Amino acid sequence: MDRCIRTRFAPSPTGYMHIGNLRTALYEYLIAKSQGGKFILRIEDTDQGRLVEGATDVIYKTLEMTGLKHDEGPDIGGEYGPYVQSERMGMYMDYAKQLVEKGEAYYCFCTKERLESLKESNAEGAAFAKYDRHCLGLSAEEVQAKLDAGEPFVIRQKMPDSGTTAFHDVVYGDITVENAELDDQILMKADGFPTYNFANVVDDHLMNITHVVRGSEYLSSTPKYNLLYQAFGWEAPVYVHLPAVMRDAHHKLSKRHGDKSFEDLVNEGYLVEAIVNYIALLGWSPADNTEIFSLKELEETFDIAGLSKSPSIFDIKKLTWMNGEYMKAMDFEKFFTLAEPKLAAALEGTDVDLRKIAALLQKRLETWNDIPAMVGFFKELPEYGTELYTHKKMKTNDEIALASLEAAVPVLEGLADWNETAIHDALIALAGKMEIKNGQLLWPVRTALSGEPTSPGGAIELADILGKEETLRRMQKGIAMLKG
């Protein structure tokens, strides 16, 4: 297809941005940008009953945060607007009537009660009920009389009675269905609104969309879309159907079952860049084994051929690892700017150096929300037991720990300068004088200063940050505890 690549993200404003929805937007963006094309935002709000106030703002905010900048949309306009379906209402009925005139669609006046009875009489259950074309045989005069009388109606697509409909999907390949299996779907509802299945075909054509990307749950509807394109005499787009994002081998991600939305992940301390990077790999594999990509690198690397038909499992541990890698690689000034609010809140009322603490955290942190638990001991020494002083690898036990702390206190008391270099030199010299390994001295000091089994820094860094007075106070407390 030699025309300009045009993809569209067409969400319904029904609430949060779930992970599968964001992945669809990302792939649509990358398909367009990797080929110098345009990425369009269209708001599909024809299902008025499901609309949630403020949900459109969530869509705008998410696209802005993730860097998925659209080239056309409701907020910035474009030559194919309006970009909100409810603002395009006048045209859908006209297009539906065109199909009626061509014999590709027809008016249906059946009541809700009659349609319900069809389902009830269907031995296979409501899910398998098909409309029985009761209104297809109405003459033009009968149809006009009902219209003149103001009877409620829908307009249905007339499916072929026999043969097959085939289409090609980039991910799933060639797919063929028996036309006899296709129901005469509703195009225009009784309230005058188009169905999703009709409106998206009309809009995709009028907006010159070349690639339609959506979830694999729409594969079964695609033959109907194809028949609509044929009925109008329009060129069908390239279809790209994406397999589901799963919680595990058997369950799709679902907000109802507690799975995270994009907003949840951000609120839980994940970097937007890491989330986007991770989501890009949920169903797409680069030619090599690279895992860390900036959005710009994704634009340059993305190839539609790398999409998989296998469902992807959302692994929060993998995302957490990736988030940590992003934090390690971040420029320190940017890292500190982002970490400072959490540090300030966690250590309010202390005068510790937040920059020094941030420097200790950067190589160890996995999410921003881990900060309070990792730094709380700087503000207040937690309750802990003497078992923390025993460490197999460091070759320490209560007896060695007590001797080390008692020897270290007067040495540190005697320091005129209090900084990492002075503390380091004093403690390492003391370990040599005591003829013990460095760890046998430093582990007890670190334990006394943090009261934690692990800490973002060692004895020397913690002592420097806590200051001389607090360091000695905590070491004395450790001595008292070990003496029991």
Q: How confident is the model over 285-303, as pLDDT tens digits?
A: 998 889 999 999 999 999 9
Residues 237 and 165 in one domain: yes
**Chain centroid to CA 382:** 36
> Would 325 be classed as within a structural domain?
no
Task: Report the percent of the chain where pLDDT is more than 70.
Answer: 98
C-alpha span between 293 and 441 (Å, rounded)? 43
Of the residues 242, 272, 298, which one is the last residue of a structural domain?
Answer: 242
Residue 363 falls within a domain, yes or no?
Answer: yes
Same-domain status, 142 and 199: yes
Within-domain flag for 379: no
User: What are the pLDDT digits (tens) for 130-175?
Assistant: 899 999 999 999 999 999 999 999 999 999 999 999 999 999 999 9
pLDDT for 257: 76
Domain-located, residue 161: yes
Which pLDDT tens digit goes with each residue over 353-368? 999 999 999 999 999 9
Q: Do the Cβ atoms of 424 and 460 come closer than 8 Å?
A: yes
Where does a domain end: 219, 242, 265? 242
Tally of CB atoms within 10 A around 179: 14
d(CA 122, CA 183): 14
Residues 73 and 102 in one domain: no
Q: What is the mean pLDDT of residues 438-460?
A: 97
236 shares a domain with 190: yes
Q: Using an 8 Å Cβ cutoff, are 40 and 209 in contact?
A: yes
- Would you call the peptide bond into 223 cis, given omega within 30 degrees of 0 as the criterion? no
Confidence check: pLDDT of 54 > 90: no
Give the CATH number, domain containing residue 47.
Answer: 3.40.50.620
pLDDT, one tens digit per residue, over 218-260 is 999 999 999 999 999 999 999 999 999 999 988 888 777 778 8
Q: Which residue has the higher pLDDT, 210 or 193?
A: 210
Number of residues that this document lists for the chain: 484
Q: Are residues 203 and 337 part of one domain?
A: no
Q: Do 195 and 133 reside in the same domain of the chain?
A: yes
- Statement to judge: residues 260 and 358 lie in one domain: no
- CATH number of 451's domain: 1.10.10.350
Asked, for residue 144, whether it belongs to a domain, the answer is: yes
Phi, psi of 52 (to 5 degrees): -120, 130
Query: Do the bridges between strand 186-188 and strand 173-178 make them parallel or antiparallel, or are there none, so unpaired?
Result: unpaired
- Give the bridge partners for 155, in sequence order: 107, 188
**Structural domain total, the chain:** 4
For the chain, state the CA radius of gyration: 32
Residue 378, in any domain of the structure: no
What's the confidence (pLDDT) of residue 317? 96
* Residue 365 and residue 406 in one domain: no
Helices 398-413 + 468-483 axis angle, to 10: 150
Q: Are 31 and 37 in contact (CB under 8 A)?
A: yes
Output the six-digit token pair for 247.
């919680």
How far is Cα 362 from Cα 340, in angstroms, rounded to an integer? 12
Mean pLDDT of all residues belonging to the chain: 94
Cα angle: 229, vertex 232, 233; to 5 degrees: 80
CA–centroid distance for 360 within its chain = 29
Quick one: 203 and 100 in the same domain?
Answer: yes
Task: Indicate whether 225 and 90 sit together in one domain.
Answer: yes
Query: Does an H or E element contain 242, and which?
Result: strand 238-242
Domain that holds residue 337: 332-373
Which residues make Cβ contacts (< 8 Å) with residue 221, sequence separation at least 6?
197
Q: Is residue 124's pLDDT more than 80?
A: no
**Catalytic residue positions, numbered:** 255
The answer to whether the CB of 310 falls within 8 A of the CB of 41 is no
Q: Is residue 1 part of a domain?
A: no
What does the pLDDT average to over 306-327?
A: 96
Residue in this structure with the two tokens 């609509």, named with its chain if needed: 228
pLDDT at position 125: 55
pLDDT at 2: 53
Q: Amino acid identity, residue 62?
A: T
Predicted confidence at residue 266, as pLDDT, reads 97
- Give the pTM: 0.91
Confidence label for 1 from pLDDT (cuts 50, 70 and 90): very low
Shared domain for 461 and 437, answered yes or no, is: yes
Q: Summarize the confidence of residues 193-203 as an average pLDDT.
A: 94
Question: What is the rounded CA–CA span in Å between residue 21 and residue 139?
Answer: 44
75 lies in the same domain as 108: no
Tell me if 286 is assigned to some domain: yes
Query: Taking 60 as the threshold, does the pLDDT of residue 126 lie above it?
Result: no
Task: Report d(CA 191, CA 462) in Å as an integer.
Answer: 69
